Amino acid sequence: MIALLHPECNLRHKAGIIDAIQQAGLRARIEPHDEGERIGIPGAGEELAGTLEALPGVRGILHQKASYGLVSRLDSEPPSQPRVGSIRFGGPELVIISGPCAVESEAQILLAARAARAAGVQMLRGGAFKPRTSPYSFQGLGHAGLELLAQAGQEVGLPVVTEVVDPGDVELVARYADMLQIGARNMQNFSLLRAVGELGKPVLLKRGMMSTVKEFLLAAEYIVGGGNPEVVLCERGIRSFDSATRNIFDVTAIPLLKQETHLPVIADPSHACGIRSLVPHISRAAIAAGADGLIVEMHPDPDQALSDGAQSLTPSGLNELMQSLPAVAGSVGRRLSS
Ligand code: PEP
Ligand code: MN
């Protein structure tokens, strides 16, 4: 439910409205909307709707069709454009993120950062806490990996994104990262979603490998409803019967999400297909379908990578990909950052 406020709703009115919401055991967040303001109230029932409707300062109550009312797209509102420093997601310029699956060493992440910078991407990625299917696989360097990633990003002048897998690590990761990634395996880790909802930093939310579009949007609703509107969605492929590729890239989800939500949507072609030679094709398909950017794995020496080497581009592969994107971007009215 969303309560729309009168343009003249004053501080005393707002205090009364927030009090009523809190009395019902719910949380309130006031945000700008059209000419006035609005309050998104996830979980509100009919009784609270009646109470609020009668309060001074309330212009009306919106009972959304979708259960993901805070992230759903209203025709009257422009799409949101979360920022990471000077980088804006969802604007005319695409945001390309690249770097290794995992931070492995100081030398490796520095080489990757320099290659990413040289290729002209806008952000550096690298996992420090890795959610691995096997407990025997490389689990990431943890805190040390965060330090190395932040250092490498600073050295080449690129903001960094890295995954957080434990609600208890959110504060630590936020100290080093410019954007926090919630991975596919944690898309429905509700305590983690709540924890990043309380954060003042943007979140990259990846679609679960077996999640529907609706479940994806509801996961985003947890973060936005928790008080953090800076969310970017990422389609990264879903499971299918066919083991020929790691996942199936759901290209349909991109324009569908862009219709359903005001949040930006980027694509991860690497985890979507799992095969290096296919990554450039999926990247271009994603841009053509309307994606606001890409997150692409690149490793200075993919054959030696401790994780996801088979799907990682080489630095020259990333260069070639970047050269091929402007034409596709231009055909759908977008451009790469100059
Ligand atoms: C990753 O980005 O390295 C990763 C683990 O991705 P996903 O959560 O999409 O599998
Ligand atoms: Mn990976």
Mutate to test the pocket of ligand 1, among 97, 164, 182, 185 (most ligand atoms within 8 A of CB): 185
Tell me how far the alpha carbon of residue 100 lies from the centroid of ligand 2, in angstroms: 8
| Nearest atom within ligand 1 for CA of residue 308 | 3
Tell me the two tokens of residue 326.
């402007």
| Nearest atom within ligand 1 for CA of residue 131 | 5
Cβ-count burial of 63 within 10 angstroms (0-12 exposed, 13-18 middle, 19+ buried)? Answer: exposed
What are residue 145's phi and psi, to 5 degrees?
A: -65, -35
Tell me the two tokens of residue 247.
């996942």
- For residue 183, the ligand closest to its alpha carbon is 1
Closest CA to 83 of 36, 114, 123: 123
- For residue 239, the ligand closest to its alpha carbon is 1
Please say whether the beta carbons of 89 and 264 come within 8 A: yes
What is the residue extent of each domain of the chain? 2-62, 83-336
How confident is the model at residue 290, as a pLDDT?
98
Using DSSP's 3-state secondary structure scheme, residue 37 falls into: strand
Please enumerate in sequence order all residues whose Cβ is within 8 A of that of 264, keeping only pairs 6 or more positions apart, or say none: 79, 80, 81, 82, 89, 90, 232, 233, 292, 293
Q: Rounded distance, CA 116 to CA 108, Å?
A: 12
**Amino acid making up residue 182:** I
Tell me how far the alpha carbon of residue 124 lies from the centroid of ligand 1, in angstroms: 14
Please say whether the beta carbons of 176 and 170 come within 8 A: no
Q: Rounded distance, CA 39 to CA 225, Å?
A: 10
Tell me how far the alpha carbon of residue 290 lies from the centroid of ligand 1, in angstroms: 21
| Nearest atom within ligand 1 for CA of residue 101 | 3
Residue 302 has, within 13 A of its CA and on its CB side, a CA count of 19
- The residue contributing the CA closest to ligand 1 atom 10 is 184
The number of beta carbons lying within 10 Å of the beta carbon of residue 205 is: 25
> Taking every pair of C-alpha atoms in the chain, what is the biggest distance, in angstroms?
66
| Nearest atom within ligand 1 for CA of residue 127 | 3
Q: Rounded distance, CA 70 to CA 246, Å?
A: 32
Tell me how far the alpha carbon of residue 56 lies from the centroid of ligand 1, in angstroms: 48
Q: Rounded distance, CA 293 to CA 90, Å?
A: 8
**Helix, strand, coil percent content, the chain, rounded in steps of 5:** 40, 20, 40
CATH 3.20.20.70 fits 83-336, yes or no: yes
Tell me how far the alpha carbon of residue 77 lies from the centroid of ligand 1, in angstroms: 31
- pTM of the predicted structure, to 2 decimals: 0.88
* Residues having C-beta closer than 5 Å to ion ligand 2: 101, 308
What are residue 203's phi and psi, to 5 degrees?
A: -125, 135
Tell me how far the alpha carbon of residue 167 lies from the centroid of ligand 2, in angstroms: 20
Per-residue pLDDT of the chain (338 residues; tens, 9 = 90+): 888 899 999 999 999 999 999 999 887 778 776 667 888 887 788 899 999 999 999 998 887 656 888 899 987 778 999 999 999 999 999 999 999 999 999 999 999 999 999 999 999 999 999 999 999 999 999 999 999 999 999 999 999 999 999 999 999 999 999 999 999 999 999 999 999 999 999 999 999 999 999 999 999 999 999 999 999 999 999 999 999 999 999 999 999 999 999 999 999 999 999 999 999 999 999 999 999 999 999 999 999 999 999 999 999 999 999 999 999 999 999 999 98
Using DSSP's 3-state secondary structure scheme, residue 88 falls into: strand
Tell me how far the alpha carbon of residue 216 lies from the centroid of ligand 2, in angstroms: 20
CATH 3.30.70.1140 fits 2-62, yes or no: yes
- For residue 233, the ligand closest to its alpha carbon is 1
Q: Rounded distance, CA 307 to CA 318, Å?
A: 18
How confident is the model at residue 189, as a pLDDT?
98
Place of tokens 């969303």: 2
How confident is the model at residue 30, as a pLDDT?
81
H-helix or E-strand containing 60?
strand 58-62
- The residue contributing the CA closest to ligand 1 atom 3 is 101
| Nearest atom within ligand 1 for CA of residue 206 | 9
Tell me how far the alpha carbon of residue 2 lies from the centroid of ligand 2, in angstroms: 38
Q: How big is the CA angle at 225 (ends 221 and 228), to the nearest 5 degrees?
A: 100
How confident is the model at residue 170, as a pLDDT?
98
β-strand partners of 4: 38, 60
Please enumerate in sequence order all residues whose Cβ is within 8 A of that of 68, keeping only pairs 6 or more positions apart, or say none: 214, 217, 218, 220, 221, 261
- List all residues whose CB is within 6 A of at least one atom of ligand 1: 101, 127, 183-185, 206, 236, 268, 271
| Nearest atom within ligand 1 for CA of residue 236 | 9
Q: Rounded distance, CA 114 to CA 158, Å?
A: 10
| Nearest atom within ligand 1 for CA of residue 125 | 2
H-helix or E-strand containing 267?
strand 265-267
How confident is the model at residue 37, as a pLDDT?
86
Tell me how far the alpha carbon of residue 257 lies from the centroid of ligand 2, in angstroms: 23
Please say whether the beta carbons of 267 and 286 come within 8 A: yes
How confident is the model at residue 74, as a pLDDT?
80
